[in-house]
Amino acid sequence: MGAMNESGLTHIDERGQANMVDVAGKAVTTRRAVAESQIRMQPETLSAIENNAIGKGEVLATARIAGIQGAKRCADLIPLCHPLPLTKVAVQFDVRPPDTLVIQAECRVEGKTGVEMEALTAATVAALTIYDMCKAVDRGMVITRTRLLHKSGGKSGTWEAQR
Q: Which residues are known catalytic residues?
A: 132
Give the Cα separation of 103 and 92 in Å (integer). 6
113 Cβ contact partners less than 8 Å away, ≥ 6 residues apart? 2, 21, 23, 26, 31, 82, 84, 154
Closest to 110 (Cα-Cα) out of 26, 31, 24 = 31
Amino acid making up residue 104: Q
Q: Where are the beta strands (DSSP E) in the chain?
A: 29-40, 88-96, 100-111, 142-152, 159-160
Helix ranges (DSSP H) in the chain: 43-50, 59-72, 74-77, 116-134
How crowded is residue 14: how many other Cβ atoms within 10 Å of its Cβ? 10
